[in-house]
Structure 1
């Protein structure tokens, strides 16, 4: 009875072991079919040889005919069995990819990067290369191909957002303009500077201010003027560029003294109205200067008082009951920076 039972037991098992699954990842089944359990030849091989084997599988090479030579002999000769000619630096790089197999697409992406001058130079000199870095390098917009340092500084999500911004520029301004912008991004000195440059290119120039200004009210007509004023007044005006770009708001500088930034906003009832006025550091405008500002805003036809939408909200039967009434003077004081 013993012999029939033994006949049912295969001489070798081609199912990958847990260790092989860990080291070979998605290639474990193919590796196990070539080196059955205990997969000793593959598991005992240096990491560079294991990566070369997985790279061969990622490229669709037939493994059994070359399996023995991939794990033995000189590494450069083994590489030629998979890639001939091979990218410069691949031999050294194979030993710096870590212990675990990469995904097939990551191997193929690595080869594409090694064919590009700037990424290849960085990869060849790296002490350790991980798949995430390769994906970030490959995710850069094409005109940023040499901005390797920036790519390695960014998170994976940062690269995705960068690509999204680049595609948005292509859609809005056309491929040529997007490429010019991305070439400028590549020269940013840090990730922070990079994203500042991207936001700047995404934001159009402000629409023309609705009024030419007065003796003491000077319109801020460009992104550069808005940013320069934000620097001088130490406020968040630089974050309001999108409001100016859509024409929802326009900004003026009151030349004082004291100087102040005046923001006017579209209003469904009054056309344009004073939204806010602030001196340096977002401080409230002194009482002594308010009357002069109101007078010159009136010359431009700008309403100073309650907004149309607040007036509309007060015109409900709950005013004075569930909804508090306040005088228009309170809205004016708020616009000039007074606290409640």
Structure 2
């Protein structure tokens, strides 16, 4: 029996054949007509080898007696399908499970086995899954070689890591990028790894809108914001990216009881007070609030309604039932634990 140009799709593939080799069932039904006994009763490694042949066979390949793939020693017939065959291909075929893979996944496996470090990783795996191969194929070679949590993540996670790696490669010197990949490989798990990668995208904070005063100082680095989040026991670390993108500026009120203050840019007023909180996100007492307001206004920063709030009020003001919230009440909301 030879692999020759085949006619149109076969209608004789059995449900079992479509289950174990869905992408190849019609071709296999032509090679081994129903009930397809030689193929469906063959060991899984042999079936994978046949499907691998169909996945990679070039159009001008010499005819091959496919029955040999099921009968002769596996180490020998592997070379009939792929010569030279990458080291570890025979063993890999024995660890792919029962269901045939897609052509793209087979080709990815062959390419990965040609890389010594990745081939070693696959050789030590108790089983080789489609998801594992897709993950490894998605990762850049340097990240694959580093190992660690990266090679244990899901394919979508690997795709994101590959995208982040490509972006960083455009900004970092090769030696620095290699250093960062080394740090990623030492991460204990995917969460820690992605935290490191996210930090690699966090450049220095932009200059604060005001240098501050003796009582009110800007937090001018990611480390300073994280330290304040720890000391104030709040979610301030979540504002790091806001600060990086100039959507926030974070200040600390130094006199007791101490407070963290967020300024945000305003289309009309420039930077303005957005919120202030004590430790554990508690609201600010009135005396401290008055002192902070005076300090901010002394720095030339806006404390009051935002331009958006003013515009909204103006849009509603023509109504006879319109009521304007007192300015002191509007300001008090910036200091209230919500």
TM-score, normalisation: structure 2: 0.86
Matched residue, 2:229: 230
- Does residue 47 of structure 2 align to residue 32 of structure 1? no
Q: What is the alpha-carbon distance in structure 2 between the residues aligned to residue 117 and residue 235 of structure 1?
A: 47
- What does residue range 8-157 of structure 1 map to in structure 2 within 5 Å? 15-60=12-57, 62=61, 65-151=64-150, 153-157=152-156
Matched residue, 1:257: 256
Change (3 A) 1:320 1:330: farther
1:117 to partner: Cα distance: 3.1
1:319 to partner: Cα distance: 6.0
Matched residue, 2:5: none
Instruction: Give the conservation status (yes or no) of the 8 Å contact 1:217–1:254.
Output: yes
Q: What is the alpha-carbon distance in structure 1 between the residues aligned to residue 64 and residue 250 of structure 2?
A: 73
Q: What is the alpha-carbon distance in structure 2 between the residues aligned to residue 241 and residue 178 of structure 1?
A: 23
Q: What is the alpha-carbon distance in structure 1 between the residues aligned to residue 85 and residue 269 of structure 2?
A: 71
Q: Which blocks of at least 5 consecutive residues in structure 1 are unaligned?
A: 1-12
Moved more, 46-55 or 195-204: 195-204
Q: What is the alpha-carbon distance in structure 2 between the residues aligned to residue 63 and residue 50 of structure 1?
A: 20
- Tell me the secondary structure at the aligned position of residue 97 of structure 1: coil
Q: How many residues align?
A: 326
Q: What is the alpha-carbon distance in structure 1 between the residues aligned to residue 179 and residue 317 of structure 2?
A: 56
Change (3 A) 1:203 1:28: same
Q: What is the alpha-carbon distance in structure 1 between the residues aligned to residue 311 and residue 55 of structure 2?
A: 66
Change (3 A) 1:192 1:71: same
Instruction: Give the conservation status (yes or no) of the 8 Å contact 1:252–1:261.
Output: yes
Q: What is the alpha-carbon distance in structure 2 between the residues aligned to residue 282 and residue 266 of structure 1?
A: 22
- Tell me the secondary structure at the aligned position of residue 261 of structure 1: strand
Q: Which blocks of at least 5 consecutive residues in structure 2 are unaligned?
A: 1-9
Change (3 A) 1:306 1:163: same
| CA deviation map 1:289-317 (0-9, x unaligned) | 22222232223111222222212221235
- Tell me the secondary structure at the aligned position of residue 274 of structure 2: strand
1:170 to partner: Cα distance: 4.8
- Tell me the secondary structure at the aligned position of residue 65 of structure 1: coil
